[in-house]
Structure formats: structure tokens, C-alpha cells
Amino acid sequence: MRGFGSSKSLIVIAVIIFGFLILYSILPRGESSKNLPIGSVISMAERGEILRIDVNGNNLSIVTKNNETFTSRKESGVSLYEMLSVRGVEAGKDVEISVVQSGNLLSSLLSLFPLIFLLYFMFVLMQRSSRGQGADWVGGLGRSKAKRFPAEEVPSVKFEDVAGAEEPKQELAEIVEFLKSPERFQSMGAKIPKGVLLIGPPGTGKTLISRAVAGEAGVPFFSTSGSEFVEMFVGVGAARVRDLFFRAKANAPAIVFIDEIDAVGRHRGSGLGGGHDEREQTLNQMLTEMDGFNSFTNVIVIAATNRPDILDPALLRPGRFDRRVIMPLPDLKGREQILQVHAKGKPISPSVDLRIIARRTHGFSGADLANVMNEAAILAARKSKTLIEAEDFGEAVDRVIAGPAMKSRKTSEKEREITAYHEAGHAVVAHNMDGADPVHKITIIPRGIAGGYTQQIPEEDRSYWSMKQLKITLAVLMAGQIAERLVFNDVTTGSSNDLERATNIARDMVIKYGMSSLGPISFGGGQDVVFLGKEFANGPSYSEAVAEKIDNEINLIIRQAEFEARTILEKYRKKLEYLAKKVLAVEILEGEELQQVLSSDM
């Protein structure tokens, strides 16, 4: 069955159900009782044990004086009255005998008339929905699940509540102005974008800024998710799209917000085995609805995604999502502003410097920063403090980066020593390489799945990485395993994450960034495979001979980073030993104390 909208499928189902019901009503149905031979029944009647016998043709239903029920069957043409009278049993006096009439087809049909009417009613409703005469399927299946916030109940979120996204706010301010006074734009012949696509990593505030647009404009706000359109029945999603846009146009001016639009807007016909009928029909309906907007329909569609690369090209063409607004991870200033927003209403100690916390949270999204502020408040409350102090924020940052501290985990002294030398190796190499980010903290307290970690804080945010910076990063990553080899003449599995990150960086340097002897060439790799089977259909963009060269270049880059790390650690072996013993003693080393150890002459 392809869907509720298929009339042929509905007819077949109705006929099957109707046939089973008729058979069920016609076929004889008896109780699950013990079957006795007719001779035993006559003997029981002769002994006076039978109370009543119901006769239905040749089938007999016997009820004894002990309220037991039996079934039996007599031969055709033989009268039950004669069989009993021969044994001296008088019917009606000694045994009550009643004749049951079998139901006919007409009476069965009459008894099924209400069910037939109900099936016909459901069939008519489904047919109307399949012809597009209404989106309200049986039970509201085709009704949109979008939450509607009337203008007076729009979330009280304004642009001032969205920090660290100044450029996106400027882009979306035009949307607000159009919704408030469209005549000013129309008088100049300008057409406002019908759709705005918010693109950015998870947690950067795409949903929040959409709510702020609705709050600033003061118009009805319809909020839904792309996954709410997709169902197992073909046509349901399309019906929900029609219903959503019908409701939005009826309440214009309005904003329709679709979160995670990639759930329904993926590229059609991609991957192994073709496409997905329900999702593609839903996408087709959405394309039709957006293209059907006229210049005077004050309905703005705002969608959010963190995977723009998998969206269908028809969804991104001018006339649908005309404007793309990038929501990047916040920079240092933006992170400080976000922390200030989330700090409102919280009892924070005057000694806490939010700028220092912003420096420590390089690469954090707005959601991560909100989590840091919340974790710090929880930690302070757990310790029954009246103010949230700097140490609470430090622990909160560590929890977000690596998870909660596993102080109860039983770790042998040998493992603690290996972890101390491993982390000290990272720190020594990072400190002694020109251009490396400063080392801020070393800890050997297990967190999450990590036995310890070394934290580096960049002096300033960067948008680009140079080849020199990437090579420095590789050397620092390889330093942990090199330190283990130098001290213990062995390696452990603790370097698995370092090796994985180093290999990925080296591969990207070769096949994406052109930072190898193969030249400034992109080999089309380094991207996640989104659709199953796509890599089989397209294949690699290079030959097997080039693939071998790529592998050799990756290995060469890793070996060079390994050589640089080994050279530094052999040169500063005494400092490595001293730092590892110091970390073993205190477990956490950070700030000025750490810098004094790293800067000491040894």
C-alpha cells in the first residue's frame, strides 16, 4: 500500500474486511466445550442428568443440571424426540428441548450495516484528502504539528537577547522592517526575500534569533521541525505542508520557522536505491508552496540547518530561500557578550572576570557557553555557596570540555605516572615551539573517557590556519606518545585520540589544502559521505597511483611531526621529568605556577 490517498488500495482493504466479517457471521460458532457421542447423550438423559438440549440442525448443545456444557451431533433424518422416547425420556418434561434457527445472509448484512456505513465514511474522507480538498485527514493525520504563537503571545525574545551575532542581526533586521511596514519597500519596487536560511554549527543560536525576529516584528510565529513532516504514509507530509502554509497565509503577516530543514529538504534521488517517496513528495509540496507566494503575501519562511551541503538545489534557488545568513561560532568578544547575557540574574562573585572565561572557551558555541554558566551555578549551589566563584567556572569549563571528574575511578600508580609523562610531553613541546598556543593547564584527573588532558588557549581567535600552525599542532599531538617511548620504551592506548586527530589533519593538508609535495591540488576528499552508495556511484577523483602518493605524503607529514617532537623532548628531557613529577604530586597544574615550571632553565 503506497498511502491512504490510493483509492484502489482502500477499495481492496474494504472488500477484504467486509468478506471476513460476512464469513465470521455465517460460519457456525460454538463454545469451546467437550464433544460427546450421541449415545452418551441419550444415556445421560435416561439417568436424568441433562437439563436442556439446544438443536441447531444436526448440531446439539447440551447443558447438564450441574451447569456443564457439552456438544454432540446426531445423524441426518433421525429425530431426537424418537431417540429419547425409545429410552423412556419424555421431551419437555424430563428434558427441555429447544430448536435454534440458523442466521441467514440478509440478517447478517443488516447487523453489519453500521460498520459498512463507517467504512464508507472513512473512504470518502480519505478520497477528499487525496484530491487536495482538505488537509485534515482522519484523526488529524494531515494536520500540521507546527506550534502557533499569536502576535500577543509571541516569545518575548528580542535582538538584545541574542549576543555574539551582530551581522546576522543586521541581515534579519530588514525582515522585521518589512513585516512592520511593507509599503516602504514595495513603493521602491523592492521584493523582500521569501525565505531565509540560517546556516551554522549546532548551538550557535539559529532558533533563538528566529524567535527574536518574531519578537521584534510582533507577528504570529509558527514553529515546527523538518522531521514532523515525514511519516511512513506517502502524502501525509505534503498534506501537513499545505495545512501549515494555509494557516500562515490566513494569519499574515506571519513567520514560519522550520528547524532542521535537512530532515525533509535533502537532495532528491541521491544515494543507493533512489530516493524516499514520502520525503520527496513533502519537499515537492514545500517547493510549490514557497514558489506560490506572491509579492504581497507577507509570510516569511525562516529555516535552520547545519548541513547546507545536503539540501536540494531547488530549495536554494532564488525565489525560495533567497537569503542565506551564516551563524558562525562566536569570537572572543561574542563569547564575552553571550556570557554576560546568561549571567543576568545570577549571583556572580565580583572577582570573576568573564573575559578570562571567554578566552578559555575558544571554539565554544552559544549553547556551550550557556551550559558553562549553568554548570557553574549548579556547582556553587552543590557546595552551598552564596556566590558563583572563579573556581566554579573553571570546573564548569572542564566538565563541558572533557566531562565530569572521575575521582572515584581506581587508577594504578603506574597508569598515573604514564599519564603524567604523556601530558607533560604535550606541554613541553607546545611551550618550546615558536607559534604554538600557550599551555594553560595540565591535569591527570580522569574526566569522561580521558585519563587526563593538556589545555592550550590561543592568544587570539583565528579564522585561518597556516601550514606552519598545522605542523605545530601535529608535533604537539605526537608529543604524548613520544614521551612514553622515551621514558618507558613502550606505548599505550592512551594516544589513540591524538593519533586520530593528527592523521585527520595530515590527510586534510594533502587532499584538501594542497600543503604537500603533490602541489596545490584538491583531490575531492575529506568530506563526509552523506548518502549511502554515493561513493560507489561517483568513485574517487584520482587514480590508484595518486592514492598511493597521498598515503605516502600523509605518512611523511606525520613522521616529520614525530621527529620534531622527539627532538624537543630529548633536548628538554630534564624539564619533562620535573614537570611530570610535579603533576604527579599535585594532579592539577595551571596558570602562573605552570608557566614558571615551563620557563625554568633545566
Whether residues 354 and 475 fall in one domain: no
Among candidate residues 326, 353, 381, the one where a domain is terminated? 326
- 385 lies in which domain range? 343-402
* pLDDT given at position 107: 56
The pLDDT score that the predictor gives to residue 135 is: 42
296 Cβ neighbours under 8 A, 6+ residues apart? 182, 186
- Same domain? For 94 and 155 the reply is no
Helices 366-382 & 332-343 angle (0-180, nearest 10): 40
Digit-coded pLDDT (tens) for 539-548:
567 788 888 9
459 and 592 both lie in a single domain: yes
Which of 376, 402, 428 is the last residue before a domain boundary? 402
Same domain, 512 and 568: yes
Q: Are residues 239 and 291 in the same domain?
A: yes
CA-closest candidate to residue 370, choices 392, 331, 396: 396
39 occurs within a structural domain: yes
Spatial separation of the C-alpha atoms in residues 498 and 472, rounded to whole Å: 13
Residue 450 above 60 pLDDT? yes
Q: Which residues are annotated as a binding site for ATP?
A: 200-207
> Among residues of the chain, what percentage have pLDDT more than 70?
77
CATH of the domain at 58: 3.30.720.210
Where residue 305 sits, what CATH number does that domain have?
A: 3.40.50.300
Do 361 and 447 belong together in one domain?
no
Give me the mean pLDDT over the 99-119 stretch. Answer: 61
pLDDT score recorded for residue 179: 78
Nearest Cα residue to 594 out of 582, 584, 577: 582
Lowest-confidence range among 120-129, 320-329, 586-595?
120-129
For residue 405, give the 3-state DSSP assignment: strand
Q: Is the pTM of this model over 0.75?
A: no
What is the DSSP code string of 3-66?
-TT-HHHHHHHHHHHHHHHHHHHHS----S-EE--HHHHHHHHHTT-EEEEEEETTEEEEEETT
Asked if 254 and 320 sit in the same domain, the reply is yes
The question of whether 423 is a catalytic residue gets the answer yes
Beta strands in 330-435 (DSSP E): none
Of 228, 231, 278, 423, which is the active-site residue?
423
Q: How does DSSP assign 419-446, residue by residue?
A: HHHHHHHHHHHHHTSTTPPPEEEEE-S-
**Higher pLDDT among residues 334 and 236, named by residue:** 334
Please give the average per-residue pLDDT across 325-343, as a whole number: 90
For residue 348, the cross-strand partners are 388
Q: What is the pLDDT of residue 467?
A: 94
Torsion 36-37-38-44 (CA) sign: negative
Predicted pLDDT at 12: 56
Position 458 confidence tier, pLDDT thresholds 50, 70, 90: confident
- Burial string for 173-188 (b: 16+ CB within 10 Å, else e) reads eebbebbeebeeeeee
- For residues 113 and 205, membership in a common domain is answered with no
Bridge partners of residue 62, in order along the sequence: 53, 70
pLDDT tens column, 34-48: 777 877 777 887 887
Q: Is the distance from CB of 204 to CB of 304 less than 8 angstroms?
A: no
Which residue ranges make up the annotated binding site for Zn(2+)? 422, 426, 498
Under the banding of pLDDT at 50, 70 and 90, the label for residue 521 is confident
Q: Is residue 15 part of a domain?
A: yes
436/578 same-domain check: yes
Residue 519 burial (C-beta neighbours within 10 Å; 0-12, 13-18, 19+): exposed
Alpha-carbon distance of 236 to 180, in angstroms, equals 34
Q: Are residues 444 and 584 in the same domain?
A: yes
- Could you tell me the pLDDT band of residue 466, with boundaries at 50, 70 and 90? very high
Q: pLDDT: is 202 or 62 the higher one?
A: 202
